Amino acid sequence: MSPAPRHSAVPLPEIHGLTMRRTVRTAALASILLSGGAGIALTFGATPALAQTAVPNIAPLAKPSKADAPAANPSPANADDQVRFEADKLQYASDPDLITATGNVVLRRDDQTVRADAVTWNRKTGKIEATGNIRAVDETGNVLYTDKVELTDELKAGAMEDLLVVLREGGRLAARKGLRDANGNLTLQDAAFSGCAVTDDEGCPKKPSWEVTAVRVTWNQATKKVRYSGARLHVFGIALLPLPGLVHTSDFSASTGLLIPDIRSTAANGVEFADTFYWRLADNRDLAVTGHVYTGALPMISANYRHLTSLGAYQVTGYLTRSSAIPVNTPIDAGAGIGTNQWRGYFEANGRLQFNENWSLTGYGRYATDRTFLRRYDISRDDRLRSSLNLERIGDASYFSLAGWAVQTLRVRDSQGQVPIALPVLDWRYRIATPGIGGQLELQANTLAISRTGGQDTQRAFAKAQWSLRTITGMGQEVTFTALARGDVYHSDANDLTTVAIYRGMPGWQSRAIATAAVDVKWPLVGALFGGNQVLTPRIQFSATPHVRNITIPNEDSRSSDLDDSNLFALNRFNGYDRYEDGARVTYGFDWALTRPGWRISSTIGQSYRLSEEQSLLPPGTGLSDRLSDIVGRTDLRIRDIIQFTHRYRLDKDSFVLRRNEIDATVGDHRTYAEIGYLRLNRNIPATFEDLRDREELRAAGRVGFARYFSVFASGVVNLTTKTDDPVYGSDGFQMLRHRFGVAYTDDCLDLSITWKRDYVTTGDATAGNSFLFSISLRGLGSR
């Protein structure tokens, strides 16, 4: 697809002279008049020659006689219909009644231009023809390159040969022959289309990465749709697959039609072929329906509906098939046909409506018919499906939320009957200033009702008032005073159905009161170091809370407590509201940051000491069970956009053994990079605390770019947990969970990749094995 030679980008010359093949009385100025069906007429006057001549559209004129008298001057018409021209030379031959403009010819009409080496108009036949290095730009910005073209009086192209059309949005159409009718519709023969550039950065011709060839291509000016007959996709010059019925819009906006198919192979379903039919229902609504065909399973259908309304947007997605479902603890190959043949599927919806600047409604819902459907069909690897509906009002000093939550577990050993449904969840907050004493008072009211189909039910309500005052001393210390008062009311039943006794609480009605006072002091110290600026901020906090009733209160949202850098200085180191840390304590530590041009390093470290001798409610291994806590910290390093490193840790206060060791590192740029994630939780917590078990895991991913457009990529997840750390799961200390490896090609218009994935764990009919995915993305190609 190489374009025709382009018009040189040089300043347009003035008209140097006008040459006629017959004698005229005065020949100082010539004007070409183009009109609907009227053709071109010449008028002459005794004025100097001009570089440009404005020409109004006029009514048809009689042909000039062989006498020397010129034709009558036309009356001016609408200025929008004017055609202007520029040329080096103009000739008129009376016998054939032919007018010829040569040398850097430029015709202009509104937003249209035509540049050519020569333009001729035959006044007898009405034929206008442009030849040589033609560049025509229409009113929408599409550009035509060719060597020969017939023009209409509106500068529309008619018949063409060896042409290239560069669409404004970047696509290119080349053809041996072309014809544009009176309505502006274009028909091309022996054509090719590509979204790729056909020249490199230096302007030299290059072959596009992909192109679609066709026997015939039509473009409808009204609908902006390009249709192909006999289309075939070529990638790197190799014919890959036919594309019958290929249609796309010239501006690449969404339009109804078939999309490019997907092809993959999995261990559970065999080879999959999926194709999507897209309906453009309106400018704000669309529907995509996909059919999935497998060699090792029955077909599946899926659909996605999207709608943008005056209040917001929402979308709904669904999958449906019929296949053999195998119990999650049965390691049987799904392809063997063993199991219960049943209807299976998945539903998902989400959206947000904004009623005004304050009120909004947000919702999302997810549901699967069984625990292995999503994983078997490679839709998602989530182990919990959350659904929620939340009505919110956000004001300058207030917040209101009325929500509901439901969760479907997909985990093998979880009981759905023990999974809670939270409805309703009400939260209200209001901030007000406190004149006289300064600071700010925040009021909060919260209520929650939790129900289970096979477990404990709990209802909770509390009201809280928290006052905070932040001030800066004369020496630069930042001091924050906090006072909190809260009252709780609980009701629960069926408490014996909760398996962990410490979470149950007492059945029936329970109440408690909470009061906390705290003072927090920070002292930022700024100085120069190693050619940069450093900030060292020592910090100390004193807090006191009288004894709080905890054991008699049901624990629904404070089960996964663990000391780390994020909650070290929190008033309550328990997450959630159901557990509250009491007693008096002092927490101390410091933040440090060093900033130099191009890089920055920061670190946080701290510890707390409980002044009271009462035993902590937190179990051993959380870092807070003794009076002196473990040491927690975090270090972040960033060097430009090349290196990002984060290390979070918890050191045992006695042995300095790492109880938590978490590393996330990224090195490289978007083309070549390596990512490493490592987590080691060595808390030695009894197995009865199901939410706090020990874990060790390694994650790695990387990509290496080469040969400008090519890259190889890989990733993997390894479970390093031993049986000693987690006897329930039974890992052997090195268990590969999954990995992938692939090769990709990416340039300005093509994304092509081949990926090999392998799962090492079988869960029901989601079997372990190899999967292969071939992916191709053609930028600039619409629907098929």
Residue type, 32: I
For residue 284, pLDDT over 50 is answered with yes
Structure tokens at 348: 């998902």
DSSP bridge pairs for 301: 291, 320
The whole-number pLDDT of residue 690 equals 60
Structure tokens at 265: 């192979």
pLDDT band at 37 (very low <50, low <70, confident <90, very high): very low
pLDDT band at 92 (very low <50, low <70, confident <90, very high): confident
For residues 138 and 92, give the distance between their C-alpha atoms in angstroms, rounded to a whole number: 28
Phi, psi of 387 (to 5 degrees): -130, 140
Burial profile 88-110: b = 16 or more Cβ within 10 angstroms, e = fewer: bbbbbeeeebbbbbbebbbbbbe
Taking the mean position of all CA atoms in its chain, how far away is CA 37? 53
The whole-number pLDDT of residue 68 equals 38
For residues 342 and 769, give the distance between their C-alpha atoms in angstroms, rounded to a whole number: 23
Structure tokens at 622: 């959380």
Residue type, 772: F
Q: Tell which wins on pLDDT, 648 or 143.
A: 648
Mean pLDDT of the 461-474 span: 96
For residues 691 and 68, give the distance between their C-alpha atoms in angstroms, rounded to a whole number: 105
For residue 656, pLDDT over 60 is answered with yes
Taking Cα atoms as reference points, which of 540, 543, 556, 480 lies closest to residue 514? 543
Phi, psi of 92 (to 5 degrees): -135, 125
Question: Pairing state of beta strands 53-55 and 17-20?
Answer: unpaired
Q: Which H helix or E strand runs over 374?
A: helix 373-376
pLDDT digits (tens, 9 = 90+) for 712-728: 999 999 999 887 777 66
Q: Which of 115-124, 573-582, 625-634, 672-681 has the lowest mean pLDDT?
A: 115-124
DSSP string, 410-440: --TT--GGGS-EEEEEEEEEEEEE-TTT-SE
Taking Cα atoms as reference points, which of 247, 228, 223 lies closest to residue 187? 228
Mean pLDDT of the 617-632 span: 85
Q: Tell which wins on pLDDT, 58 or 167.
A: 167
> How high is the mean pLDDT of the chain?
83
Check if the beta carbon of residue 269 is closer than 8 Å to that of residue 771.
no
The whole-number pLDDT of residue 27 equals 26
pLDDT digits (tens, 9 = 90+) for 129-138: 888 888 888 7
Check if the beta carbon of residue 162 is closer than 8 Å to that of residue 182.
no
Burial profile 433-443: b = 16 or more Cβ within 10 angstroms, e = fewer: eeeeeebebbe
Taking Cα atoms as reference points, which of 584, 603, 585, 583 lies closest to residue 593? 603
Check if the beta carbon of residue 590 is closer than 8 Å to that of residue 605.
yes
User: How many CB atoms are located within 10 Å of the residue 17 CB?
Assistant: 10
For residues 203 and 224, give the distance between their C-alpha atoms in angstroms, rounded to a whole number: 29
In the chain, the N- to C-terminal Cα span, in Å, equals 22
User: How many CB atoms are located within 10 Å of the residue 226 CB?
Assistant: 27
The residues near 125 (Cβ < 8 Å, ≥ 6 apart) are none
Check if the beta carbon of residue 497 is closer than 8 Å to that of residue 505.
no
For residue 570, pLDDT over 90 is answered with yes
The residues near 662 (Cβ < 8 Å, ≥ 6 apart) are 646, 647, 648, 649, 678, 679, 680
The residues near 308 (Cβ < 8 Å, ≥ 6 apart) are 284, 285
For residues 449 and 420, give the distance between their C-alpha atoms in angstroms, rounded to a whole number: 10
pLDDT band at 164 (very low <50, low <70, confident <90, very high): confident
Question: Pairing state of beta strands 17-20 and 89-93?
Answer: parallel
For residues 11 and 417, give the distance between their C-alpha atoms in angstroms, rounded to a whole number: 80
For residues 427 and 405, give the distance between their C-alpha atoms in angstroms, rounded to a whole number: 14
pLDDT digits (tens, 9 = 90+) for 40-89: 322 222 223 333 333 333 222 233 333 333 334 444 445 455 667 788 88
Mean pLDDT of the 298-322 span: 97
For residue 460, pLDDT over 50 is answered with yes
The whole-number pLDDT of residue 12 equals 28
DSSP state of 59: -
Taking Cα atoms as reference points, which of 664, 599, 605, 602 lies closest to residue 638? 599
Q: Which of 123-132, 461-470, 586-595 has the lowest mean pLDDT?
A: 123-132
Q: Which of 33-37, 88-92, 232-236, 324-328 has the lowest mean pLDDT?
A: 33-37
The whole-number pLDDT of residue 225 equals 81
The whole-number pLDDT of residue 17 equals 30
Check if the beta carbon of residue 544 is closer than 8 Å to that of residue 515.
no
The whole-number pLDDT of residue 21 equals 29
Question: Pairing state of beta strands 157-166 and 143-151?
Answer: antiparallel
Structure tokens at 107: 């015709």
Q: Which residue has the tokens 């199991």?
A: 339
The whole-number pLDDT of residue 42 equals 29
Q: Which H helix or E strand runs over 375?
A: helix 373-376
Question: Pairing state of beta strands 210-220 and 186-194?
Answer: antiparallel
Of 36-40, 92-96, 311-315, which has the strongest mean pLDDT? Answer: 311-315
pLDDT band at 286 (very low <50, low <70, confident <90, very high): very high
The whole-number pLDDT of residue 169 equals 67
The percentage of the chain sitting over the pLDDT mark of 70, rounded to a whole number, equals 84
Distances (CA, A) of 232 to 208, 235, 239, 262, 487: 15, 10, 7, 17, 72
Phi, psi of 740 (to 5 degrees): -145, 155
DSSP state of 198: S
Q: Give the 3-state secondary structure percentages of the chain, helix then strand then coil, rounded to 5.
A: 5, 55, 40
pLDDT digits (tens, 9 = 90+) for 226-282: 889 999 989 888 888 888 878 877 666 777 877 878 889 988 899 999 999 999 899
Q: How many CA atoms lie within 13 A of 459 on its CB side?
A: 6
DSSP state of 6: P
Question: Pairing state of beta strands 262-266 and 532-545?
Answer: unpaired
Structure tokens at 281: 């229902």
Residue type, 325: A
The whole-number pLDDT of residue 83 equals 65
Structure tokens at 111: 């937003």
Phi, psi of 375 (to 5 degrees): -75, -40
